[in-house]
Amino acid sequence: MKKIRYVTGRGGSGVGGLSGYLSTLTRDFDVCPIDPAFLQLDLDNQIGRVREFSSQDNAYVVANSYGAYLFLQSLIDQPASSINVLLLSPVLGRAMSEKRMLFSRPPREATLKRAIQDGRLGMPAHLQIVTGAKDEICDPELAIRVGDQLNIDVSVLADEGHMLEQTSVSLAVERFLGIRGK
C-alpha cells in the first residue's frame, strides 16, 4: 500500500477536491492543509511543518502551488531522501500577469533560486513538475529552467492554466503513482 502525503495550495483543505481524490487511492493518506491557521505561522514554522510532514520514508508526496513552494524551501540544505514527489503548478518565483493585474513574489524567493543554482536541495528519490502552458502563477518557462537545473521531468500541459483540469491532475497522479503507464 502506497503512503500518500498531500500538501495543498494556499487556502486548501483536507476535504474534497484533490484531497478527496487522493484519499480514495490508499488507506495511508494524510494532508497538510495550507489553510488560514497554517498561514498565520511564520515562514520558518511553515517550512518546518512541511518538512516534517513530508519526510516519511518511501512516501509519495503531492504538493500543489504554494504548498509546492514551501516543499521546495524545505529541501534546502537537507540530505537526499527516499520520497517520491509530484509538484502541481508549483510557485517557483515571481509571477506577473498584466491581464489579471497580478504580481506575486513569494518569500525567500532569492534563497530558493540560489539553493537550486548551487545544488543545495536534498533531492527526493523522484521529483517531477506538472504545470499549465497558460499558468500565470507557475511560469512554465521558469518551470522548464528549474527542471533543467534539477535534472527532473517537467510536463507543460497545453491550454491549461494554474488550476489544472481535474482529468489532467488525475492522469498525472495516476502516472506518478504507477497506476497507469507512463
State the CB neighbour count (10 A cutoff) for residue 2.
15
pLDDT over threshold 90, residue 99: no
Predicted TM-score (pTM) of the model is: 0.93
Work out the average pLDDT over 104-114: 91
Q: Which domains does the chain have, with CATH numbers?
A: 3-177 (3.40.50.1820)
Going by pLDDT thresholds of 50, 70 and 90, the confidence category of residue 97 is low
Say what percent of the chain tops pLDDT 90.
Answer: 82
Give me the amino acid identity at 173. V
Determine the straight-line distance between the first and last CA of the chain, rounded to whole angstroms: 20
Report how far residue 78's alpha carbon sits from residue 96's, in angstroms, rounded to the nearest whole number.
30
* Mean of all residue pLDDT scores within the chain: 92
**String of b and e for 38-48 (b: at least 16 CB within 10 Å)?**
beeeeeeebbe
Report how far residue 11's alpha carbon sits from residue 90's, in angstroms, rounded to the nearest whole number.
15
Report how far residue 165's alpha carbon sits from residue 157's, in angstroms, rounded to the nearest whole number.
10
